Amino acid sequence: MNTSQFALRHIGPREEEVSQMLETIGVESVDQLIYETVPSDILLKTPLNLPPAMSEFEYLDHITELGKQNKIFESYLGLGYHQCVVPAVIQRNIFENPGWYTAYTPYQAEIAQGRLEAILNFQTVAIELSGMEIANASLLDEATAGAEAMALLFDVRSREQKKNNVCKLFVSEEILPQTLSVLQTRATPIGVEIVVGNHETFDFSDEFYAAILQYPGKHGQIFDYADFCNKAKEKDIKVAVAADILSLVVLTPPGEWGADVVFGTTQRFGIPLGYGGPHAAYFATKEEYKRSMPGRIIGVTQDTNGNRALRMALQTREQHIKRDKATSNICTAQVLLAVMAGMYAVYHGPKGLAFIANRVHQSAVTIVNALNKLGVYQTNDAYFDTIVVKAAADVVRPIAESKKCNFLYIDAQTIGISVNETTSIKSINKIISIFAEAVGKEAFEVSSLDSESALPQSLARTSKFLTYDVFNSYHSESALMRYIKKLERKDLALNHSMISLGSCTMKLNAAAEMLPLSMAKWNNIHPFAPVEQAQGYQTMLKRLEEQLNVVTGFAGTTLQPNSGAQGEYAGLMVIRAYHHSRGDFHRNVCLIPASAHGTNPASAAMAGMKIVVTKTMDNGNIDVADLREKATQYKDELSCLMVTYPSTHGVYESAIREITGIIHENGGQVYMDGANMNAQVGLTNPATIGADVCHLNLHKTFAIPHGGGGPGVGPICVAAHLVPFLPSNPVIETGGSQAITAISAAPWGSALVCLISYGYICMLGSEGLTEATKIAILNANYMKARLEAHYPILYTGERGRAAHEMILDCRAFKANGIEVTDIAKRLMDYGFHAPTVSFPVAGTLMIEPTESEDQAELDRFCDAMIAIRAEIAASSAEEPNNPLKNAPHTLPMLTNDTWSFPYSRETAAFPLPYVVENKFWPSVRRVDDAYGDRNLVCSCAPIEAYME
């Protein structure tokens, strides 16, 4: 046994287990299983052309050496990104803790109460600092949040505005450049016309439905927007404000001077720069807009016993339910980072945040006063942390860079300096010395911070914030460590048991892949630092793009999209740009099979496409005849087909090349949804099946952790003819020769976590990647073989095989009074998170075991499902008092003096022997979603304050 092989650690089943599993399935070898599962005409003929696999030790040595090519400068670039202090207690206990980073999106609320509380804290921070009424559980970045604000305010236009097609959006020229670029990308397809200008000369025309302002402005100037908001209100023009969250500790929050939406990034609340991400954006608005609000919302409700419980609220807004009519994207969260930012506020509390904000401001004032003595004057008359000075950039820059400082060189005579939490007296004296040398004067040193304020008196914050106990109780490390642990114990993550979610690929997130994220040479670089300072990143990102090109068979990749749904959107926008480049502006029809992910039609709608749904046959496959008919019908307007492969039903459809051929014959492009790429890597690829573009979920197939609902990374890989259209960035050059505008804020999206996928591919190599795919298919078919005598398997391939996932049909159990939700809740008593519930077919469970689970864990899950099947058989619709209907069972239930159930406590809590050894206790009984939606509470306020 070669213990240096990473594949041995990543792939679960041992050699002897594989033999037993093959026997259970009824095949002689893994290769025979693959032959009976994957159509032969799409199998790759040669191995993936990748370098030999590295051992864990070799990879960590490699990544450490590569990191040395990154130069860590003191960063005063600003533009929405700031160096900050990541509290060690949060780094060690959340960021580096698999109990937090391997959890899934909290759809099963009863085993996610800890994470839900942490996100509720985050929402409360956003609400209180912004002065708004409701906030969501985070968005991908500030630029994306701005685009969502544009879309929300477009959606809530008055009836008169919609009737008159009022579609202009005013954007202040003070907006961050990356936000403007993303706004431009997202505006045109949905019919919004952006007008950029000076807010002080805006004419408040009836042609405008909304305005977006930056507070403070992109180069630090603080404007008083109260009069602007009053005039806008008179004309029914809604106002969204991009606000620096730390400044809101000392400045009047936009909600108090009339804003309708407030958004921004929480990166400076203890999140590493990471060359651009991942960072959690915040988004807060008025309660009246709650049903148009993007992203997840965590709300307070009650459980079966009437006790306080948390869950995701208003889920009917989401894409998997409302499809192209959705107002929420289920992929637009950065939960792990939101948890960290919220915990930063918990740790520091209102007084600590005020201390940090005031120190940052005083640092800026001290620099201004010192530079004045040198004859270097700044132009902002009111500022928080960012000053603009007049000096020769070509003189200052080489001196600054020789002393490892980055300033923002706005033009030849204008320099921006944004100070931050890490700026010390020593840092200030270095800045003074740089400018002294530049102007030829003798440097001097300051020994303390100046105490005067450059904040406008009229905008000084007077309202209190974060008064709840949670923000005023955990200021010692012991206290916070224990609070974090208390919450962690309430959450089931991959460090407890398998999470077999179909389509979501919850595989091992190996420690060796994760370790580099904590290295200072990787996590402390500003995304707009000169690229020559980030050569380690440039090398790693370029190699990852090349690796993904090899895996997909395509010619080019962009890593910019920082979620799967954003990848879908990026792919469609690239296709749109390709058609437009050929003069085919009329090609706007997107064919989508009825079986597709709900995100597909939602993304197509965002891209301005007309959606035409094609039929699915009784066996779950695409109806090729109907597809051909519609492709022919719309041949002059056809833009693309969106197809998932293997299908959403977990089947390798043998007609896939015929399907893609039909689209090409009729002038369209083929977009492949990469959700099921874990069943392709090394066996086939999107290019071979005939696709033109695909997105990849790096947080699925390529091992980035789901983090409780984010981070995600959704790069797109494209054929050669689409490479010119890959997205750009307005600050750092990237993208193709005819690049579309930006998809996300940072040039390479969430660059820090791309290290994980790079490590995954480097350590598995060609052989390991292919073996991982084969074992994922083996594990799924082994579970199918064990379960099919107890549960109908809804769809299989032509030879009766599943792909890497399968669907159990639970609809017949309604005769026993049992719904699929009851099975999901009962699985908690057995120590498992439920598989995917009611997707893609209502009343079903979709199971994907991944390659990382060994036979023992697969057997534990199958044993649980078989035991539950017996409980279903013993249930009846007339007697609903049974273990399934009462699940999950909590510790207070089991230890209560009264036991009023017709089954034993042991049956309730310890239904199989293995459960006794490692019992996971759900912290609440079944939650009441409807009650919570009727009484929506999204902050730490007591529930009584919101009751009907």
Distances (CA, A) of 225 to 122, 217, 232, 682: 26, 11, 10, 56
Q: How far apart are CA 11 and CA 854, in angstroms?
A: 8
Average pLDDT over residues 943-947: 41
Q: Which residues make Cβ contacts (< 8 Å) with residue 809, sequence separation at least 6?
A: 791, 792, 793, 794, 841, 843, 844
Please indicate, yes or no, whether the overall pTM of this predicted structure exceeds 0.85. Answer: yes
CB atoms within 10 A of CB 814: 12
Say whether pLDDT at 458 is over 90. Answer: yes
Distances (CA, A) of 418 to 367, 421, 432, 543, 702: 11, 10, 14, 33, 36
Q: Which residues make Cβ contacts (< 8 Å) with residue 593, sequence separation at least 6?
A: 613, 614, 615, 616, 622, 627, 642, 643
Q: How far apart are CA 229 and CA 256, in angstroms?
A: 11
Say whether pLDDT at 187 is over 60. Answer: yes
Instruction: Specify the range with the lowest mean pLDDT, choosing from 376-390, 429-443, 921-935.
Output: 921-935
Can you read off the two tokens belonging to residue 775? 């074992």
Look at residues 578, 637, 582 and name the one whose alpha carbon lies nearest to residue 609. Answer: 637
Half-sphere exposure (Cβ direction) of 208: Cα atoms closer than 13 Å: 23
The DSSP bridge pattern shows strands 134-135 and 281-285 to be antiparallel
Average pLDDT over residues 157-179: 98
Name the DSSP letter for residue 138: -
pLDDT of residue 317: 52
CA 224 from chain centre, in angstroms, equals 33
Q: Which residues make Cβ contacts (< 8 Å) with residue 478, sequence separation at least 6?
A: none
pLDDT of residue 931: 82
Look at residues 355, 285, 736 and name the one whose alpha carbon lies nearest to residue 555. Answer: 736
Distances (CA, A) of 128 to 84, 252, 256: 21, 11, 11
Distances (CA, A) of 639 to 185, 622, 631, 648, 657: 18, 19, 10, 22, 18
Average pLDDT over residues 493-497: 98
Are 443 and 430 contacting, i.e. CB atoms less than 8 angstroms apart?
Answer: no
Q: Which residues lie across from 807 on neighbouring strands?
A: 846
Half-sphere exposure (Cβ direction) of 432: Cα atoms closer than 13 Å: 25
Q: How far apart are CA 513 and CA 704, in angstroms?
A: 9
Helix (H) or strand (E) holding 644: strand 638-644
For 193, the 3-state DSSP assignment is: strand
DSSP string for residues in 580-603 = HHTT-TT--EEEEETTS-THHHHH
Strands (E), 219-274: 238-243, 261-265
Are 420 and 385 contacting, i.e. CB atoms less than 8 angstroms apart?
Answer: yes
For 670, the 3-state DSSP assignment is: strand
Say whether pLDDT at 1 is over 80. Answer: no
Q: pLDDT tens digit string along 311-366?
A: 998 876 554 444 555 544 556 799 999 999 999 999 999 999 999 999 999 999 99
Distances (CA, A) of 4 to 58, 66, 134, 353, 912: 9, 21, 51, 47, 36
Residue type (1 letter), 496: H
Half-sphere exposure (Cβ direction) of 158: Cα atoms closer than 13 Å: 13
Q: How far apart are CA 358 and CA 246, in angstroms?
A: 10
Residue burial 197-213, b: 16+ Cβ < 10 Å; e: rest: eebeebeeeebbbbbbb
Distances (CA, A) of 859 to 66, 650, 759, 782, 855: 42, 21, 30, 9, 6
CB atoms within 10 A of CB 402: 10
For 578, the 3-state DSSP assignment is: helix
Per the listing, tokens 């905008």 go with 459
Exposed, middle or buried, 452 (CB in 10 Å: 0-12/13-18/19+)?
Answer: exposed
Q: Grade residue 597 by pLDDT with cuts at 50, 70 and 90.
A: confident
Are 57 and 243 contacting, i.e. CB atoms less than 8 angstroms apart?
Answer: no
Exposed, middle or buried, 94 (CB in 10 Å: 0-12/13-18/19+)?
Answer: buried
Can you read off the two tokens belonging to residue 7? 């594949």
Say whether pLDDT at 378 is over 50. Answer: yes
Are 143 and 210 contacting, i.e. CB atoms less than 8 angstroms apart?
Answer: no
Q: pLDDT tens digit string along 30-87?
A: 999 999 999 999 999 999 999 999 999 999 999 999 999 999 999 999 999 999 999 9
Strands (E), 400-539: 405-406, 408-411, 414-418
Q: How far apart are CA 121 and CA 703, in angstroms?
A: 28
Are 679 and 773 contacting, i.e. CB atoms less than 8 angstroms apart?
Answer: yes
Q: Grade residue 936 by pLDDT with cuts at 50, 70 and 90.
A: confident
Say whether pLDDT at 310 is over 70. Answer: yes
CB atoms within 10 A of CB 98: 17
pLDDT of residue 942: 52
Average pLDDT, the chain: 95
pLDDT of residue 557: 98
Q: Which residues lie across from 406 on neighbouring strands?
A: 75
The DSSP bridge pattern shows strands 298-302 and 308-312 to be antiparallel
Say whether pLDDT at 443 is over 90. Answer: yes
Largest CA distance in the chain: 91
Can you read off the two tokens belonging to residue 635? 């041949």
Portion of the chain with pLDDT greater than 70, in percent? 97
Q: pLDDT tens digit string along 748-807?
A: 999 999 999 999 999 999 999 999 999 999 999 999 999 999 999 999 999 999 999 999
pLDDT of residue 620: 87
Q: Which residues lie across from 879 on neighbouring strands?
A: 876
Residue burial 746-759, b: 16+ Cβ < 10 Å; e: rest: bbbbbbbbbbbbbb
Q: How far apart are CA 430 and CA 580, in angstroms?
A: 51
Q: pLDDT tens digit string along 502-561?
A: 989 999 999 999 999 999 999 999 999 999 999 999 999 999 999 999 999 999 999 999
Per the listing, tokens 């207690």 go with 89
pLDDT of residue 324: 52
Exposed, middle or buried, 596 (CB in 10 Å: 0-12/13-18/19+)?
Answer: buried
Q: Which residues lie across from 81 on neighbouring strands?
A: none
Q: pLDDT tens digit string along 836-888?
A: 999 889 999 999 999 999 999 999 999 999 999 999 999 999 999 999 999 99
pLDDT of residue 652: 96
Q: pLDDT tens digit string along 563-585?
A: 998 999 999 999 999 999 999 99
Q: How far apart are CA 641 and CA 628, in angstroms?
A: 11
